[in-house]
Structure 1
Amino acid sequence: MLETSISPKRSSKSSCIQISRRCSHGDSFAGGLDGSISTGVGGLPLALGIDERCHLKVGIFTYLTDYGPSPIDVGRAVELHGFESLYVPEHTHIPAIGSSSWPGGGTLPRRNVRTLDPFIALTAVASTTERLRVGTCVSLVAQRDAIILAKEIGSLDRIAPGRFDLGVSPGWNAEEAANHGVTKHRTARMLETIEALRAIWAGDPAEFHGRFIDFDPIYSWPKPRGDVPIFVAGGGPTVLERVLSHGDGWIPPRFPLSDLPAVSARIRELRDRAGEQGRELSVTVYGAANSAAGLEAYGSAGVDRVLLELEDHGGDHAAAFRQLDDLARLLRDRR
């Protein structure tokens, strides 16, 4: 029998969460945001965010901003609470003038304007955690220089070997992309960037000659020590084609739990078609329903990972960590 108690300890200087777990035979685990960890049960820490009944991985999706808690504090708390992963989105900027409509509807939240660079923030998280997977959900790779991005990801992998997942999307803000010189063909450029990244990581020297990206042989290090999983996001009629041609997994757009049957049908189609190619592809759902019933439904529908959203709470750090406590209780109650 494993029992867990979570008690937030906060001061005027910082937010701290203490987590302790105790087994029936008396061994325990405790940790805090100060980085101290004591272990029991053979020295093992918290099992990371995996529902033992259906092997559903449970992680956190959040916007890391300049007004929110620090990436290091968030990452440590997420890991100590036992979640499997921490994923963050990307916007290099938001144009002050433009006609692109935010997919969420209504006024664009402040958090979209104030996001930290995902690769810098996730490097900070990775360097101060031990087992937590980190990833983008999603990175707008069509807006990035492929050679620089290859080095950034290779460098992150040196700090956290095998713990990074690259979620990618063409993005919804046409004006943002245009300010990076990408005025059209965002999806095609995203796919070509994936091809260029893999060419750089595989070759020494590496070269690539595409429609949008072109370079003669180059030496580029560091390279990831293993394959970097690349998850293609989107929900349009042709998205599964892109997942099958360029991805290791699929990230559907946000959807209400009532739409899960339709999404599940697409998951089955994806798995069947991947199986014909002798491949296995994963499915990650972000902004997932925060309920035990929801987690059960996702697992039954064939989802591999759900990302529960940690809100920004308008910069109220204590409120953010209280919500994380609540999400952790949901995870704990499933074990």
Structure 2
Amino acid sequence: MEHGVLIFLTDYGIDGPTLARATEERGFDGLFLTEHTHIPVSRESPWNGGAELPRRYWHTEDPFVALAAMAVVTERIALGTAVSLVLQHHPIGLAKTIASLDRLAGGRFELGVGPGWNREEMANHGVDPRTRTRRMLEHIAAMREIWTRDEADFHGEFIDFDPIWSWPKPVRTPPVLIGGEGPTVLDRVVSHGDGWMPRRVRRDEVDAFAGRVAELRRRATDAGRGHLPVSVFGAVPERDVLDAYAAAGVDRVLFELPDADEAEVLRTLDALAALRP
């Protein structure tokens, strides 16, 4: 089982290149960034972490810009999003951004995606929250067309374009990791994903979670999809829980780092590195 990290990279915390070098030097397998383009001041959407939304949500750096800087100072680790709110981007522009980033990273980019939870944020992008999941899947499909075809066209419910030329192409078609834990998430993983990225599986949830991993593997086999890896976002950094994740079939754990200064983040990285087998 691989070990990676994720962070809300902010303008008041550690800088991206320093973090990327430190992550690779300590032997981790990947580094993933969150995304919010903005947070509306007047919020109605509930946050599942409590009443007060932490300031890191509206101080996050653009993950694609930050990951490009990280790509040029690393050689080995996977670099990705956990997760990108792809429905808040136009797929033609985002496909080019991701392809350019993947080339800088030498084919190491992974696109973790989710539909998001903040309805006001979506609305500011002109997205109807009631259609967010369908729109997300359509954006993924449209980007894959652009990445894999010399003359790509797409005609869907939300995205429509006649044949286009768009280069560069990525080194490889970036794997799409579908985020979420809801009752229908495995449908999306099997239909549109290259992996599953569930969040914060607690100690007392691992047994039930193992059943869902087994279900994913059965469904992927039946659909001819092969092995679809599972990466746990915000994994519990305790040895017995990590052993339980591995027994459940998890392929990679992603530990969440604090949105803090360089010294605190590096101390946390050192502590987490001690958990690696």
TM superposition shift of 1:322:
1.1
- Partners of 2:177 and 2:194 within 8 A in 1: yes
Deviations 1:279-323 (A, max 9, x none): 21010001111112121111111000000111113xx32112111
In the alignment, structure 1 segments of 5+ residues that lack a partner are: 1-55
Q: Secondary structure at the match of 1:296?
A: helix
1 or 2 for the larger relative contact order (CA 8 Å, sep ≥6)? 2
Give the corresponding residue for 1:243: 189
Q: Secondary structure at the match of 1:282?
A: coil
Give the corresponding residue for 2:179: 233
What is the alpha-carbon distance in structure 2 between the residues aligned to residue 155 and residue 227 of structure 1?
12
What is the alpha-carbon distance in structure 2 between the residues aligned to residue 271 and residue 183 of structure 1?
33
Matched, 1:81 2:52: no
Deviations 1:174-225 (A, max 9, x none): 0001000002301000000000001111221111111100111110001112
User: How many aligned residue pairs are there?
Assistant: 275
Map 1:87-98 to 2 at 5 A: 87-98=32-43
Q: Secondary structure at the match of 2:273?
A: helix
Q: 2:53 aligns with which of 96, 108, 114?
A: 108
Give the corresponding residue for 1:322: 267
Q: 1:215 aligns with which of 161, 169, 181?
A: 161
Structure-1-length-normalised TM-score: 0.80
- Partners of 1:264 and 1:301 within 8 A in 2: yes
What is the alpha-carbon distance in structure 2 between the residues aligned to residue 183 and residue 191 of structure 1?
14
Matched, 1:183 2:128: yes
RMSD across aligned C-alpha pairs, in angstroms? 1.0
TM superposition shift of 1:72:
0.1
Map 1:1-335 to 2 at 5 A: 56-184=1-129, 185-278=131-224, 279-313=226-260, 316-331=261-276, 334=277
- Partners of 2:148 and 2:173 within 8 A in 1: no
- Partners of 2:177 and 2:197 within 8 A in 1: yes
TM superposition shift of 1:258:
1.0
Greater strand percent: which structure? 1
- Partners of 2:85 and 2:114 within 8 A in 1: yes
| Counterpart amino acid of residue 28 in structure 2 | F
What is the alpha-carbon distance in structure 1 between the residues aligned to residue 239 and residue 180 of structure 2?
26
- Partners of 1:100 and 1:173 within 8 A in 2: yes
Deviations 1:77-98 (A, max 9, x none): 0000000000111000000012
Give the corresponding residue for 1:24: none
Give the corresponding residue for 1:27: none
- Partners of 1:65 and 1:115 within 8 A in 2: yes
Greater helix percent: which structure? 2
What is the alpha-carbon distance in structure 2 between the residues aligned to residue 69 and residue 120 of structure 1?
15
Q: Secondary structure at the match of 2:275?
A: helix
Deviations 1:36-73 (A, max 9, x none): xxxxxxxxxxxxxxxxxxxx010001111001111000
TM superposition shift of 1:106:
2.5
What is the alpha-carbon distance in structure 2 between the residues aligned to residue 252 and residue 320 of structure 1?
23
What is the alpha-carbon distance in structure 2 between the residues aligned to residue 225 and residue 330 of structure 1?
32
TM superposition shift of 1:233:
0.8
What is the alpha-carbon distance in structure 1 between the residues aligned to residue 149 and residue 73 of structure 2?
31
Q: Secondary structure at the match of 1:200?
A: helix
In the alignment, structure 2 segments of 5+ residues that lack a partner are: none
* Structure of larger gyration radius: 1
| Counterpart amino acid of residue 189 in structure 1 | R
Deviations 1:122-178 (A, max 9, x none): 111111101011010000000001001100111011111220110000000000010
Q: Secondary structure at the match of 2:157?
A: coil
What is the alpha-carbon distance in structure 2 between the residues aligned to residue 230 and residue 221 of structure 1?
20
TM superposition shift of 1:254:
2.0
Q: Secondary structure at the match of 2:64?
A: helix
What is the alpha-carbon distance in structure 2 between the residues aligned to residue 225 and residue 312 of structure 1?
31
Give the corresponding residue for 1:20: none
- Partners of 1:103 and 1:172 within 8 A in 2: no
TM superposition shift of 1:326:
1.0
User: What is the percent sequence identity of the aligned residues?
Assistant: 55
Q: Runs (4+) of structure 1 moved beyond 3 Å?
A: none
